[in-house]
Amino acid sequence: MNVDKLLAPRPSGSHTAVTPHTSPFGFRNQSRVLLSGQPGATAPRLASSEPHRSISRPEEPPSMAASSLKVLKYVLFFFNLLFWVCGCCILGFGIYLLILDTYGALIQQLPSLTLGNVLIIVGCVIMVLAFLGCMGAIKENKCLLMSFFVILLLILLAEVVLAILLFVYEKKVDDYVSTELKESFQRYHQDNATKNAWDAVQQKLQCCGVNNGTDWNGPRPDSCPKEIGVQGCYQLIKEWFQVNFLYIGIFIICVCVIQVLGMSFALTLYCQVEKTSNSMSL
């Protein structure tokens, strides 16, 4: 480097500016840079040692989709919670009827097809299904929501198929039940379970036999009413269903509507959770 250039006087219209440089060891050095004598030229400011303050943006209000997702989640949760409580009640009533177990001996070929066993199965299915719906809704779990939807769909299809089969084979089912009940008369004096079942039915319903009192083919048991022309027990039950057919149909339709609403809520919540997870992953 030329020493004369270093010792030479600088022009009067020029000045120096200090610019920071960082050494490889992390220390800042200052070097002077000669600026041309232009009017208005200013030296750059030294880098401030204070940390930069980040400007916080105001939080955006929740979107309409998030609000609807939250509402739908809690609606589905409380819907299934009520459903679970109903399942517990049905299960308890089924266990109570199973403990009595009075009417299972009337149809010998299907001894397990009693009202108590049917209610226990229905109550267990409702409890498991409602548990899947509650946990899937509150946890926003797609697997549980889809399982809830599929099981509810299968139950709805099974109900429709069962209703169609009962409508198509109504006459055969009627004849089968009537024949099985008449055959149970032969076991009345040999089997105590059959005797207790018929006595309980005839005393509670105030009926005698299947269609009428002549079905016994001999002396009528003491549980039959003493009046002449008493209606048969099976005939009385069929007439009760015919009289209340409208109310039974309304009840079945309400159950199907509730199932369809539960499926709709579950599928909508599943789609919203899927959409939210996809937007967060982007």
The domain that holds 236 is classified in CATH as 1.10.1450.10
Q: Are 33 and 19 in contact, with CB atoms under 8 Å apart?
A: yes
Q: Is the residue at 8 inside a domain? A: no
- Predicted local distance difference test score (pLDDT) of residue 281: 67
Q: Is the residue at 153 inside a domain? A: yes
Q: Tokens at residue 32, please?
A: 């002077």
Does residue 264 carry a pLDDT above 60? yes
Q: Is the residue at 114 inside a domain? A: yes
Q: How confident is the model at residue 230 (pLDDT cuts 50, 70, 90)?
A: confident
Q: What is the pLDDT of residues 43-80, one digit of tens each?
A: 444 444 444 454 544 444 456 656 777 888 888 888 88
Domain that holds residue 91: 66-273
Outline where the chain has alpha helix (H): 3-7, 64-100, 115-139, 142-168, 170-183, 192-205, 233-243, 245-281
Q: How confident is the model at residue 29 (pLDDT cuts 50, 70, 90)?
A: very low
Q: Is the residue at 281 inside a domain? A: no
Q: Are 223 and 195 in contact, with CB atoms under 8 Å apart?
A: no
Q: How confident is the model at residue 10 (pLDDT cuts 50, 70, 90)?
A: low
The mean per-residue pLDDT over the stretch 8-27 comes to 47
Does residue 183 carry a pLDDT above 90? no
Sign of CA dihedral 188, 191, 194, 196: positive
Q: Is the residue at 51 inside a domain? A: no
Q: Is the residue at 279 inside a domain? A: no
Q: Which residues face 231 on adjacent strands?
A: 212
Q: How confident is the model at residue 150 (pLDDT cuts 50, 70, 90)?
A: very high
Q: What is the pLDDT of residues 154-165, one digit of tens each?
A: 999 998 999 899
The mean per-residue pLDDT over the stretch 249-259 comes to 88
Query: Using CA atoms, how far apart are residues 264 and 269, in angstroms rounded to an integer?
Result: 8
Q: Is the residue at 47 inside a domain? A: no
Q: Is the residue at 227 inside a domain? A: yes
- Predicted local distance difference test score (pLDDT) of residue 213: 80
Q: How confident is the model at residue 32 (pLDDT cuts 50, 70, 90)?
A: very low
What amino acid occupies position 114? T
User: What are the distances in angstroms from CA 169 to CA 75, 173, 211?
Assistant: 40, 6, 20
Q: How confident is the model at residue 102 (pLDDT cuts 50, 70, 90)?
A: low
Rounded to the nearest 10 degrees, the angle between the axes of helix 245-281 and helix 233-243 is 60
3-state SS class at 17: strand
When divided into structural domains, the chain yields a total of 1
* CA nearest neighbour of 17 among 37, 33, 1: 33
